[in-house]
Amino acid sequence: MDYTLPQRGRAAIDFLADLRNLSNRFEQSTDQAAFDGGLNSDDLPEDPAQLQEVVTPLMENNHEFRVLRMCRDWTLEEHGQIAMDIFEEIRAEVEPGLKALQNGPATLEYDENLKPPKYWDGYEFHKSAGGWDGHDYMGFVHGELIHRRMVNPTFAGMVYAVRKSVADVVPLENPAKILDVGCCSGQFTQGVAELFPDSEIWGCDLSPKQLEQAQRYANENNLEWRLFQADGADTGRADNEFDVVTSYAMFHEIPISASLDNLKEYLRILKPGGYAVVGDVKAYHTFNNYNRWKADYWNQVHGGDPFWREYASTNLADLALQVGFDEAEWKGLGEGEYPFVLIARKGDNNE
Ligand SMILES: C[S@@+](CC[C@H](N)C(=O)[O-])C[C@H]1O[C@@H](n2cnc3c(N)ncnc32)[C@H](O)[C@@H]1O
C-alpha cells in the first residue's frame, strides 16, 4: 500500500536505522579494546550465565562499550513508541486503505475465547512498546513501520533473504497444505507462499493485530491465505491435516516447555511423511566463548528476549525426537551457520 511518511516521521526512522548502524561500528572497537586489554576467548567459561559474571564487569569499564549500550538501549526502548507516533501522523491517510484491505481472498478467523500463554500476554518482546497487540493497527506499526522501514534497511536485504533460505529447505516438491505458526504479519509466510505457489497456505498466531496485517498483505497480493488466531501448541486443526508445518523466529521467544508443546502439536497435525521446518537464531554452541557472551548479552540480558538463552542452548532435534518425530536435524545454514533450522520428519506409519 502506498503512503507518504511526513518529514518528521521519516527523519525519526532514518535516525534509528543510522544509530543502529553506528552502534555496530562501536561493537568492533569494544571487541578490540577487550582483546587489547588481555581478554582471551579460550580462557572464558562456556556457560552463558558464568560468562555474564566474568565478561560484563570487564566491559563496563570501557567507555565505548557504555556508549554502544546507550545507543542500543535507546533504539530498543524508543522504536515502538516512535513508530506508533508516526502512525498517528499518517492515520488519516492510511486508515481507509487499511480497512479496505481487510476484504479480499484471504480469510481471518478470530478466537475470542483464546487464553494466551503467560509468557506472551502483555510482554514487550525486543522492548517494543505496545508488544504485539497494544495498538489498533499494531500489525501495520510493527510489520510495516518497524520491520520494513527500520529493521530491513539496517540489515540491507538480509532479513528477507534469511527467511527465504529457511523456506528453501522444505524437503517436499509440492506440498498440498502448509501451516505457518507464529506467522505474525506474514513476512516468512510470504517466502513460503512464493516457493510453493500451488500450495494451500495457512497461518496462525496468538496476535489478532499481527494477523490482520498478514491478511492485508495477502489481500493486496491476491493470495488466498487462511489465517486464524491460535496458540501453536493447540491449533484446533485435525490430525494428519498438513504436509508441512513451518515456523520462523518464534521459538526463541517462547520457553522450551512451550517449544515441546508446539512440536507435539505439529506432529499431531502433520500427515505421515510430513515435515516440521522451524527456523530461528543461531545455536550458542556455534560461537566461541566471547561471541557467545555477546549474543547472550545483547539478546537475553539486554534485548528484551527472556527465552533466547534457553532456546539457543537446547538442541531442537532432540526435542523433536523426544515428542515422536522419526528423523530430525538441527543445523545452521550456509557458511555463517545462520539461521538455524530444525527439519523433522513424521514417520510414514505414524497416524
Ligand atoms: C518474531 S515474530 C515471528 C515473525 C514471523 N514468523 C516472520 O517471519 O516475520 C513471533 C510471533 O510469534 C507469535 N507467537 C508467540 N508465541 C506463539 C504461540 N505459542 N503460538 C502462536 N504464535 C505465537 C507472536 O505473537 C509473534 O507474532
Task: For residue range 17-36, list pLDDT tens digits in order.
Answer: 888 888 888 999 999 999 99
Ligand 1, atom 10: closest residue by C-alpha: 250
If you average pLDDT over residues 56-61, what whole number do you get? 94
Residue 287: DSSP 8-state: S
268 vs 10, residue with greater confidence: 268
* Alpha helix ranges (H) inside the chain: 7-36, 48-60, 63-100, 138-140, 152-154, 158-167, 187-195, 208-220, 256-269, 289-295, 308-312, 316-323
The three-point CA angle 125-232-200 to 5° equals: 115
**Per-residue pLDDT at 156 exceeds 70:** no
Nearest CA to ligand 1 atom 14: 182
Per-residue pLDDT, 149: 85
Pairing of strands 242-248, 177-181: parallel
CA angle 110, 116, 122 (to 5 degrees): 110
Q: What is the predicted pLDDT for the residue at 25?
A: 86
Domains of the chain listed by start with CATH number: 7-106+124-148 (no CATH), 157-345 (3.40.50.150)
Residue 165 above 90 pLDDT? no
Average pLDDT over residues 104-110: 98
Higher pLDDT, 274 or 18: 274
- What is the b/e burial string over 267-285, where b = at least 16 CB atoms within 10 angstroms of the residue's CB? bbbbbeebbbbbbbbbbbe
Residue from 123, 205, 246 whose mutation best tests the ligand 1 pocket (most atoms within 8 A of CB):
205
Euclidean distance between CA atoms 190 and 185, whole angstroms:
10
Grid coordinates of 330: 538441527
Ligand 1 closest atom vs CA 186: 9
Pocket around ligand 1 at a 6 A CB cut-off: 117, 120, 132, 163, 181-184, 187-188, 204-207, 210, 231-233, 248-250, 253-254, 258
Confidence of residue 163 (pLDDT cuts 50, 70, 90): confident
Per-residue pLDDT at 97: 97
- Coil vs helix vs strand at 194: helix
Compute the average pLDDT of residues 43-49: 98
- Tens digit of pLDDT for each residue in 223-251? 999 999 999 999 999 999 999 999 999 99
Cα distances (Å, whole numbers) of residue 162 to 28, 119, 280, 281, 306: 23, 26, 10, 10, 23
What confidence tens digit (pLDDT) does each residue in 82-93 have? 999 999 999 999
> What's the pLDDT tens digit per position in 285-343?
999 999 999 999 999 999 999 999 999 999 999 999 999 999 999 999 988 999 999 99
d(CA 351, ligand 1 centre) in Å = 27
Per-residue pLDDT, averaged over 99-113, amounts to 97
| Tens digits of residue pLDDT in 166-219 | 888 999 999 999 999 999 999 999 999 999 999 999 999 999 999 999 999 999
pLDDT at 157: 66
Task: Give the phi and the psi of residue 48 in degrees, each rounded to 5.
Answer: -60, -35
